[in-house]
Amino acid sequence: MFTRVLVANRGEIAVRVTRTLHRMGVEAVAVHSEPERDAVHVRTADAAVCLGPGPVGDSYLRADRIIEAAKETGAQAVHPGYGLLSENPDFAEACARAGLVFIGPSAEAMRAMGSKIEARNRMMTAGVPVVPGSLEPVRDLGHAFATAGEIGYPVAVKASGAGGGKGFRVAATPDDLKAAIAGASGEGARFFGDPTVYLERYLDDPRHVEVQILGDVHGNVVHLSERDCSIQRRHQKLVEESPAVHVSARIRARIGEIAVAAARAVGYHSAGTVEGLLDGEDFYFLEMNTRIQVEHPVTELVTGIDLVEQQVRIAAGEPLSFTQDDVRLDGHAIECRINAENAAKRFLPAPGTITAYQEPEGEHVRVDSGVEKGTALLPFYDPMIAKLIVWGPDRAAATARMRQALDDFRIDGIATLLPFHRALLATGQWERGETCKDLIEDRHWLNDV
């Protein structure tokens, strides 16, 4: 096992990774920007290296500085967290060249999943169901109209290099197709350097269901069941839960097997997520996320498995210590993302300084946070400052515990999503396990939270 690991991230995920490293008897090296030298994630680590000024391009995205920091401090491995450099295959390769273990999948697996068109083709070949549509890029408008006509309207237009909702448009009729392609292609070029788009059948109000998998370097792959992340605003997840509502044991077993097949198709090792759409009983592969995800704690609370510990053990070459049959689901877990945003003002980011901070406590209440009283929120970074995660024997009990914990959570000095979550979890739509799409995108009740 490693004796020192560099955590190449900030905020709550850096704190959370460090906590597991310490429990495993491994030292953690933090990295930070100049304005974050006193941040929680720096203080909890055993050593820290300053990367540069506040903007991520000058600090947390400086792969060269991070690798230098790991070498200087005697770390043997690098944990990238999520976002930032976590899905950058060039960074994973640069780590390897410097003699550092990248705690994540191979660069090849990341590249294979990075192109959505390539991923769709690989999955088709592996027998994994994908959303019906084209398996090739749109060549020109004439080709697009012909393909969309075969698929049938409405069609989804998606950028191949995209992920997480950028570069996604819907054409309800042929009249919308040209603009939808221009929109998706423009975003693909702008955000991912690739204007290539492809077409899928548009599913009306599907559920966003994703399966957590773990693979080791010896070829063992298991799934840890699914999460439902259907409650989103503009593709930003707000609430996640496990297990998914309205998923029977039979469907769970089937989508779990699909996810394991998807992971095997790219020789995947480490923790990964197979993201899909659930339309009635039909599950379709969308994309694979090759990192630890923000919402991983809900899976930890229903399986009792520490996913970061598993990532570290896998990176150290250990085989998985359990099989699929050993994975047991117990109860229900919910996570609310606590963003520094004002829901009443169209989720406008709310910078400022935290003047009072009191976390809820109690059995089966977990807070993963990277802030404290006095923390100044800087415009360069992710507005998600904490995650509130609870467990209960069933969904209703978990909901009741979450509502109490939301009431007990006090954050002063900035606007947060606490009032939004309190209001959302009190609705009948949440109680019935609906997707809450209409409730979040454009409802008047948000003006009061």
Give the up-direction half-sphere exposure of residue 97: CA atoms within 13 A in the CB hemisphere: 11
Cα–Cα distance measured from residue 145 to residue 177, given in angstroms and rounded to the nearest whole number: 8
Binding map of ligand MV4 across residues 168-187, x = CB under 6 A, - = no contact = x-------------------
Binding residue count for ligand MV4, defined by CB under 6 A = 17
Q: Is 164 in the site for ligand MV4 (CB under 6 A)?
A: yes
> Which element (helix H / strand E) includes 197?
strand 197-201
Q: Which two tokens stand for residue 80?
A: 């990238």
CB of 190 to ligand MV4, least distance (A): 17
Q: Which stretch binds ligand MV4 (CB under 6 A): 119-127, 163-171, 306-314, 400-408?
A: 163-171
CB of 135 to ligand MV4, least distance (A): 14
Q: Is 157 in the site for ligand MV4 (CB under 6 A)?
A: no
Pick the closest to residue 256 from 278, 236, 240 (CA basis).
278
The footprint of ligand MV4 on residues 23-82 (CB under 6 A) is none
Q: Is 160 in the site for ligand MV4 (CB under 6 A)?
A: no
- Among 169, 208, 252, 337, indicate the residue that binds ligand MV4 (CB under 6 A): 208
Comparing CB distances to ligand MV4, the nearer of 36 and 176 is 176
Comparing CB distances to ligand MV4, the nearer of 65 and 437 is 437
Q: Is 113 in the site for ligand MV4 (CB under 6 A)?
A: no
Whole-number CA gyration radius for the chain: 21
Q: Which stretch binds ligand MV4 (CB under 6 A): 24-32, 54-62, 161-169, 175-183?
A: 161-169
Q: Is 203 in the site for ligand MV4 (CB under 6 A)?
A: yes
Comparing CB distances to ligand MV4, the nearer of 170 and 182 is 170
Map residue 357 onto helix, strand or coil: strand
Binding map of ligand MV4 across residues 351-390, x = CB under 6 A, - = no contact = ----------------------------------------
- Among 105, 206, 297, 383, indicate the residue that binds ligand MV4 (CB under 6 A): 206
Q: Is 202 in the site for ligand MV4 (CB under 6 A)?
A: yes
Binding map of ligand MV4 across residues 232-271, x = CB under 6 A, - = no contact = x--x------------------------------------
Tell me what percent of the chain is helix, strand and coil, each rounded to the nearest 5: 35, 25, 35
Q: Which two tokens stand for residue 357?
A: 């901070």
Please write down the HEC assignment for all residues of 12-36. Answer: HHHHHHHHHHHHCCCEEEEEEEHHH
Strands of 15-115, DSSP E: 27-33, 47-52, 77-79, 101-102
- Among 109, 131, 307, 398, indicate the residue that binds ligand MV4 (CB under 6 A): 131
- Among 61, 156, 418, 446, indicate the residue that binds ligand MV4 (CB under 6 A): 156
Comparing CB distances to ligand MV4, the nearer of 73 and 230 is 230
Cα–Cα distance measured from residue 373 to residue 58, given in angstroms and rounded to the nearest whole number: 26
Q: Please state, in angstroms and as integers, the Cα–Cα distance from residue 270 to each residue in 241, 258, 311, following that order.
A: 22, 17, 5
CB of 22 to ligand MV4, least distance (A): 34
**Quick one: DSSP state of residue 381?**
S
CB of 107 to ligand MV4, least distance (A): 24
> Following CA atoms 409, 415, 420, 421 in sequence, which dihedral angle do they give, to the nearest 10 degrees?
-30
**Quick one: DSSP state of residue 319?**
P
Cα–Cα distance measured from residue 10 to residue 30, given in angstroms and rounded to the nearest whole number: 8
- CA angle at residue 252 from 131 to 104, to 5 degrees? 75
Sign, CA torsion 260/266/272/276? negative
Cα–Cα distance measured from residue 32 to residue 69, given in angstroms and rounded to the nearest whole number: 11
Annotated catalytic residue 233: no
Among 16, 227, 291, 337, the one annotated catalytic: 291
Q: Is 165 in the site for ligand MV4 (CB under 6 A)?
A: yes
Q: Is 345 in the site for ligand MV4 (CB under 6 A)?
A: no
Binding map of ligand MV4 across residues 422-441, x = CB under 6 A, - = no contact = -------------x------
Q: What are the DSSP calls for 386-441, one per residue?
A: EEEEEEESSHHHHHHHHHHHHHH-EEESS--SHHHHHHHTTSHHHHTT---HHHHH
Q: Is 87 in the site for ligand MV4 (CB under 6 A)?
A: no
- Among 86, 230, 293, 416, indicate the residue that binds ligand MV4 (CB under 6 A): 230
Catalytic annotation, residues:
291
The contact set with ligand MV4 (CB under 6 A) reads 131, 156, 164-165, 168, 200-203, 206-208, 230, 232, 235, 277, 435
